[in-house]
Amino acid sequence: MKKIIFNILFLFTVLYLSAQDGHQLWLRDKQAVPVTVICSESSPTLSIARQELKEGWQGKPKTSITLIIKKDKALKDDGFRLGKNSIQANTDIGILYGVYEMLRRQQTSEPINNEVFNPSYERRILDHWDNLDGTVERGYAGNSIFWREDDPFTVTDHDKTLWQQYARANASIGINGSVLNNVNASPLILNADYLARAKAIANVLRPYGVRVYLSVNFASPSTLGNLKTADPLDPSVIAWWKNKVKEIYSIIPDFGGFLVKASSEGQPGPQNYGRTHADGANMLADALKPYGGIVMWRAFVYTANDNDRAKQAYSEFMPLDGKFRDNVIIQVKNGPVDFQPREPFSPLFGAMKKTSVMPEFQVTQEYLGHSVYVVFLSTMWEECLKSDTYQQGAGSTVARCTDGSIYPQKYTAIAGVSNVGLDTNWCGNQFAQANWYAFGRLAWNNTLQSQQIADEWIKLTFYKDPSQKLSEANYAADWNKNFLAPVKQMMLESREAAVNFMMPLGLHHIMSANGHYGPGPWWHPKGVRADWTPPYYHQASTYGIGFDRTKKGSDAVSQYHEPLASQFDNLKTCPEKYLLWFHHLPWDYKMKEGNTLWDALCRHYEKGVNQVREFQKIWDKAGPYVDSTRFMEVQGKLREQCMNAILWKDACQLYFQQFSKRPIPYDLERPINNLDDIMANEFKHKND
The residue type of 313 is: A
330, 575 contact by CB (below 8 A): no
Q: How many CB atoms lie within 10 A of CB 321?
A: 16
* Pick from 170, 144, 157: nearest CA to 48: 170
Helix-helix angle 92-108:44-56, to 10 degrees: 10
User: Longest C-alpha distance within the chain, in Å?
Assistant: 86
21: left (phi over 0), alpha (psi -120 to 50) or beta: alpha
* Pick from 540, 570, 571, 546: nearest CA to 656: 540
Exposure on the CB side of residue 303, measured as CA atoms within 13 A: 8
**DSSP secondary-structure letter at 234?**
-
Distance CA 262, CA 270 (A): 7
Distance CA 233, CA 227 (A): 13
- The reply to whether 338 belongs to the active site is yes
Distance CA 463, CA 476 (A): 9
SS3 461: helix
Q: Which residues contact 561 (CB under 8 A, 6 or more apart)?
A: 350, 351, 389, 390, 391
Q: Which pairing describes strands 413-417 and 80-82: parallel, antiparallel, or unpaired?
A: unpaired
- The reply to whether 366 belongs to the active site is yes
User: DSSP readout, 550-590?
Assistant: STTTT-GGGGSPTTHHHHHH-TTTS-GGGHHHH--EETTPB
Q: Which residues contact 156 (CB under 8 A, 6 or more apart)?
A: none
* Pick from 245, 127, 242: nearest CA to 181: 127
- The reply to whether 101 belongs to the active site is no
**Phi/psi at 44 (5° precision):** -55, -35
**Phi/psi at 650 (5° precision):** -65, -45
The residue type of 79 is: G
Choosing from 41, 115, 193, 265, which is the catalytic residue? 265
SS3 75: coil
3-state helix, strand, coil in the chain (%, to 5): 45, 10, 45
**Phi/psi at 146 (5° precision):** -105, -40
Helices (H), 350-467: 378-385, 398-402, 433-444, 450-462
Distance CA 604, CA 680 (A): 25
The residue type of 350 is: G
Query: Torsion angle of alpha carbons 511, 515, 518, 523, nearest 10°?
Result: -50
324, 281 contact by CB (below 8 A): yes
Choosing from 52, 366, 493, 650, which is the catalytic residue? 366
Distance CA 354, CA 357 (A): 9
Q: How many CB atoms lie within 10 A of CB 248?
A: 23
Angle at 85 between CA 82 and CA 90, to 5 degrees: 40
Bridge partner list, 361 = 416
Choosing from 326, 338, 614, 669, which is the catalytic residue? 338
Sign of the CA dihedral running 558, 564, 569, 574: negative
Cα 239 to chain centroid distance, Å, stands at 35
Sign of the CA dihedral running 151, 245, 268, 297: negative
Residues with catalytic annotation?
265, 338, 366
